[in-house]
């Protein structure tokens, strides 16, 4: 199970956001259920006028959903968590599981220089992630610098804070070798008929192109 959180520092609290986040992640990493953690900084999105320099994307690999829940119950009442959560506005949050049921190594998207695309999208139709998706993602193999992509089912917290599977919603991670090759391929890809046919069946909830932060 993977946790993804996309947060934006509150105005004037950028330094507090970074300091409190570092302290929180240190405590988080001490939890037995935490297997790995990483962070990414966005440089491109499709939302007009969204400030990007105070946004961080964090992703944590948990050993299980129950392990996540038990750790959250311990961490959330602590001052280190309260200080961190007071410093940002949440842009997106979800728990992810691989759509193919296979394993996913977080280290593969933490390499220096890579470009990682994160997106969460809801299908407008029951077959939104079927043939049209396959046609577009097969096209990616033709572009220099494309490495791989993985699809995930999305669980969102309900009003009681309990994770629930979001219907017809999937997240995707797309990995590129470097920024130059991503920036060369992206304008071409967005203009293809395969992308247009796939995108017509989607509502994009979140999209960022990012680079790993070390």
The residue among 36, 32, 3 whose CA lies nearest residue 171 is 3
**What is the structure's pLDDT at 159?**
80
Region 45-52 average pLDDT: 92
- Average per-residue pLDDT in the chain? 95
Region 125-141 average pLDDT: 93
How big is the CA angle at 96 (ends 94 and 99), to the nearest 5 degrees? 145
The residue among 104, 101, 102, 94 whose CA lies nearest residue 164 is 94
For the whole model, what pTM was predicted?
0.94
Architecture of domain 2-213: 2-Layer Sandwich (3.30)
DSSP codes of every residue in 114-183? -EEEEEEEEESSTTTTSHHHHHHHHHHTTSTTEEEEEEEEEEEE-TTS-EEEEEEEEEEEEEES-HHHHH
Cα–Cα dist 195/50, whole Å? 24
Answer yes or no: are the C-beta atoms of 140 and 146 closer than 8 Å: yes
Give yes or no for residue 160 having a pLDDT over 80: no
**What is the structure's pLDDT at 20?**
97
Q: Which residues pair with 210 in a beta bridge?
A: 42, 116
Give yes or no for residue 127 having a pLDDT over 80: yes
**What is the structure's pLDDT at 193?**
95
Give yes or no for residue 83 having a pLDDT over 90: yes
Cα–Cα dist 107/203, whole Å? 29
Cα–Cα dist 192/186, whole Å? 10
Q: Provide the greatest CA pair distance for the chain.
A: 51
Q: Which residues pair with 76 in a beta bridge?
A: none
pLDDT tens-digit readout, 24-44: 999 999 999 999 999 999 999
Region 56-77 average pLDDT: 93
163-176 and 115-123 as β-strands: parallel, antiparallel, unpaired?
antiparallel
Region 4-18 average pLDDT: 97
115-123 and 202-213 as β-strands: parallel, antiparallel, unpaired?
antiparallel
């Amino acid at each position: 199970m993977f946790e993804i959180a996309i947060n934006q520092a509150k105005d004037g609290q950028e330094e507090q956001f970074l300091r409190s986040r570092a302290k929180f992640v240190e405590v988080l990493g001490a939890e037995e259920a935490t297997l790995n953690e990483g962070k990414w900084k966005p440089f491109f999105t499709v939302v007009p006028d969204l400030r990007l320099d105070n946004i961080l994307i964090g992703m944590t690999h948990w050993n299980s959903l129950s392990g996540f829940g038990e750790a959250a119950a311990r961490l959330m009442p602590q001052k280190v968590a309260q200080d961190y959560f007071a410093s940002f506005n949440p842009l997106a949050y979800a728990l992810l599981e691989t759509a193919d049921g296979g394993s996913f190594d977080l280290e593969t998207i933490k390499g220096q220089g890579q470009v990682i695309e994160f997106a969460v999208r809801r299908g407008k139709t029951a077959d939104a992630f079927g043939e049209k998706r396959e046609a577009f993602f097969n096209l990616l193999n033709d572009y220099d610098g494309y490495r791989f992509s993985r699809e995930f089912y999305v669980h969102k917290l309900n009003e009681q804070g309990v994770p629930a599977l979001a219907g017809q919603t999937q997240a995707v991670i797309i990995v590129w070798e470097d920024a130059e090759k991503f920036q060369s391929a992206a304008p071409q890809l967005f203009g293809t008929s395969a992308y247009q046919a796939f995108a017509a069946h989607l509502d994009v909830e979140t999209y960022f192109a990012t680079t790993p932060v070390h």
